[in-house]
Structure 1
Amino acid sequence: MRLATYNVENLFNRAKAMNLEGWAEGKPVLESFARLNQLLGEPLYTAQDKVQMVKLLIDLGLEKSDRAPFVILRQNKGSLVKRPKAGGLEVVANGRTEWVGSLDLIEAPVDLEAMRNTARVMIDLKADVLAVVEAESRPALRDFNDEIVGGLGGPLFKHVMLIDGNDARGIDVGLMTAEGYPIGQMRSHVDDAGANGELIFSRDCAQFQIPLPSGKQLLVLVNHLKSKGFGSLAASAQKRQAQAERIKAIYQALVAQGEAYIAVVGDFNDTPDSAPLAPLLQGTDLKDAFTHAAFDDGGFPGTFDSCKAANKIDYLLLSPALFATVTAGGVWRKGMWPGSKPKRWDVYPELDKKENAGSDHAAVWVDLNL
């Protein structure tokens, strides 16, 4: 069986603020969006809250209209704001129950050739079980499988599943499996909270059971941990560590129940030597597929962007029993932009400019003798 993980960076549509040339351009929009959404969810709006809301609304370009280049304010019933003819902006609602609506990111289509290169990676991986990171929704994942993968002549995944997570940007985690590998029981951890009541997972730690032809079962925990590029570095590191500690607890509980074949996979947004990932990489018996003697990293230690060691952020962590079944493994980079001169790795002929990259992440895979 081939197990793989791939951050696809959305399939059809992506928030416009995330689709700009550089992360630095969209970061202020996403930060203001997140903070304003947090304030809008409060049951009561204090005078200080309203001052902050007005500033954030203006920062997002919503001073004169409910629609801005990157976001849209929906006031479906009742009013959050009023815009006097004399100018300015006023928050008139006194709490979340006084108006019905939402603050949404505006989406833009993903480049068509980029979609096809994402599909080419999926086809060439030949994965029986593929963990997918940053997919918009289950319908998007299903339609991508049918229309893009199928349109390029690739074999369709038989089973496609995604549970919406905690991120309002439409970057969720899911699983696609081939004929013979049905998806059994599923469990979401979106409601897992810390001692302070704050939700632990930025997206989810989605748990999928795969019954195997041998009569055994594989458990795959698909993750997308907190990014370094959103909020302060210290706060994001603290969040990732809390997530790693919770995943550790989930993993150890499964081991205590007698589960042997467990994979913790996905985009962890940090390196193997980082303190936030220590609970998983040092505090458990999980083994990184990269360390297996049969694993070939293709001459590059990383999985993201330039694939340097500092860009090793995508993982296949395997329980000892599962690690013992590995017969081969590697990193698939043909859908990634290889740089201009010289090119770092071979790519698809259709990937002739950076915008056509299927993702700026590589796919990571292992073959398992189960």
Structure 2
Amino acid sequence: MTVRIATFNIENLITRFDFSGYRNQLRTDRVMTLFDIKTEAIYQQLEAARVIAAADDNRQMSALAIADTDADILCLQEVDSMEALQAFEYGYLFRMVGSGYRQKYLVEGNDSRGIDVAVLMREETRHGEKIELKDVRSHAALTYHDLGLYTEALGPGLRPEDRIFKRDCLELDLRIGGRALRLYVVHFKSMTGGRGDVDGRSATMPVREAEVRAVRHIIENQFGDRCDQQNFVICGDMNDYQERVDVIGDRRRGFRYEVRAGLESALDIFAQDGFAENVMRRRDALDRWTLYHARGPQEQHLCQLDYIWLSSALAAANPVAVPEIIRSGQPFRTPFPPGQEVERYPRTGWDRPKASDHCPVVLSFDLP
């Protein structure tokens, strides 16, 4: 019995306007800095018009990318609210896939911007197996103290009573065709926030390590020493990578691509003792990336930030299952290694519009 699960950071599916850029230049959109805007009222009018004009193209492409996953269960990150999710599903996704995703789940989490993780599900799989929800749980309230995960390495300003998850670990207890599947959806701490001569990824890694340990604790606490016999999947934007592809060169002279493997990562905790498998590693090393990061031509790389981790039982039962990556919504500035080029969606821009800065990942696998 086959189920198809996708994960996608849809990038700021937000229904609110953010006008803080008028007073904080770090939050001002770059196009707004081209104009001499005299008053805050005029700024708000222009910013609202800019956001609305850009959102339609972006969301059409987001819906196209989701439609291309053809998933039975869709895990999303960066969703503002259930109202935003419903408006997107009805106004955009419905036009691509019809009335497919009738089951929707979102719990408000801890993010300061109000972006949450969410799950959309069909009522049946593509093969006619019923998808049933037995229970849904948020773990957003867990603190470092609760799980004994507080250390000074977490960084200044964090306290034992602070919450572990920067957003949430949303848990769904499912039955698919009568067979059990536990799904955990996460969006870990971003790699921004360097301190002194310590880069952002290194400075924030202890926070992500605590989040990974918390997810593993939740699963091990539920299943005990039977974890290796359970059907569970951990999905989401994990904001970390175990390897990356350095992009060297520029558009005029061309690019070359070098794999940097074996990098320290918070996600190594999932892989320890065969607890779970990052099945993306079944793809070629040059072809595992889900995001392009660049700060000018001197710092650019491709990396995997979006994951579908299978429990050891599911990985063993699906030895040849390989994830697919939907890259047609990437902007034209993203360099593709040779042989990976795709046809972009209509109206895709150099940097924007785009489906998202992330690529959806989807995996079909059998439930034993």
Taking structure 1 as the reference length, the TM-score comes to 0.69
How far did residue 321 of structure 1 move? 1.6
Matched with 1:51 is none
Q: Is the 8 A contact 1:296 1:329 kept in 2?
A: no
> Which residue matches 2:57?
113
Alignment of structure 1 residues 168-317 onto 2, 5 Å: 168-180=112-124, 181-195=131-145, 196-213=160-177, 215-230=178-193, 232=195, 233=200, 234-256=202-224, 258=226, 260-272=230-242, 273-282=263-272, 285-292=275-282, 295=283, 300-305=287-292, 311-317=303-309
- Residue aligning to 2:148: none
Query: Partner amino acid for 1:204?
Result: D
Question: What amino acid is the match of 2:67?
Answer: I
Measure how far apart 1:339 and its partner are. Answer: 2.0
Q: What amino acid does structure 2 have at the position aligned with 1:339?
A: R
User: Please, which moves more after superposition, 304-313 or 225-234?
Assistant: 304-313
The structure-2 alpha-carbon separation of the partners of 1:275 and 1:319, relative to structure 1 and needing over 3 Å to count, comes to same
Deviations, residues 305-346 of structure 1 (Å, cap 9, x unaligned): 269875211111110122234334211111111427889533
Q: Provide the C-alpha distance between the structure 2 equivalents of 1:261 and 1:167, rounded to a whole number of angstroms.
A: 29
C-alpha deviation, 1:304, in angstroms: 0.8
Residues 1:241 and 1:360: Cα distance change in structure 2 (over 3 Å): same
Alignment map for 1:129-144 (pairs within 5 Å): 129-144=73-88
Q: 1:26-175 maps to which residues of 2 (within 5 A)?
A: 26=27, 108-109=51-52, 111-152=55-96, 154-175=98-119
Q: How far did 1:275 drift? A: 3.5
In 1, Cα distance between the equivalents of 2:279 and 2:214?
21
Aligned position for 1:333 = 327
Equivalent residues of 2:274, 2:312 under 8 A apart: no
Query: What residue identity is the alignment partner of 2:138?
Result: S
1:243 Cα deviation after fit: 0.8
Task: Compare 119-128 and 322-331 and name the one that shifted more.
Answer: 322-331
Helix, strand or coil for the counterpart of 2:109?
Answer: coil
Letter in 1 for 2:161: G
Which ranges in structure 1 are unaligned for 5 or more consecutive residues?
28-63, 71-106
SS where residue 11 of structure 2 aligns? coil
Match of 1:358 among 347, 350, 355: 355
With normalisation by structure 2, the TM-score equals 0.70
Contact 1:134–1:171 at 8 Å: present in 2 too?
A: yes
Alpha-carbon distance, 1:209 to partner: 1.5
Q: 1:116 to 1:248 in 2, by over 3 A?
A: same
What root-mean-square deviation, in Å, do the aligned CA atoms of Structure 1 and Structure 2 show?
3.2
1:352, CA displacement in angstroms?
3.6
Distance 1:190 1:239 in 2: 14
Q: Shift of residue 146 of structure 1?
A: 1.4
Q: Report Cα offsets for 1:114-159 as digits up to 9, x if no partner.
A: 1000001111111001110111111211221111111345443121
- Aligned partners of 1:189, 1:130: CA distance in 2, in Å? 19
Give the structure 1 partner of residue 316 of structure 2: 324
301-310 or 314-323: which moved more?
301-310
Aligned residue number for residue 365 of structure 2:
368
Moved more, 155-164 or 345-354: 345-354
1:12–1:115 contact (8 Å) kept in structure 2: no
Partner SS, residue 251 of structure 1: helix
Q: Which residue of 2 aligns with 1:54?
A: none
SS of residue paired to 2:357: coil
Q: Deviations over 1:229-262 (max 9, x none)?
A: 1464354222111111111111222332856111
**Residue identity matched to 1:241:** E
- Give the whole-Å Cα distance in 2 for the aligned partners of 1:126 and 1:8: 16
State the identity as a percent. Answer: 25
Structure-2 residue corresponding to 1:10: 12
- Taking the aligned partners of 2:203 and 2:92, their CA distance within structure 1 comes to 38
Q: Structure 1 residues 187, 133: CA separation in 2 closer, same or farther (over 3 Å shift)?
A: same
Amino acid aligned to 2:288: P
Q: Mark the CA change 1:179 to 1:108 in structure 2 (over 3 Å): closer, same or farther.
A: same
Distance 1:108 1:169, change over 3 A: farther
Distance 1:325 1:179 in 2: 24
Equivalences, count:
290
For the residue of structure 2 that corresponds to 1:249, the secondary structure is helix
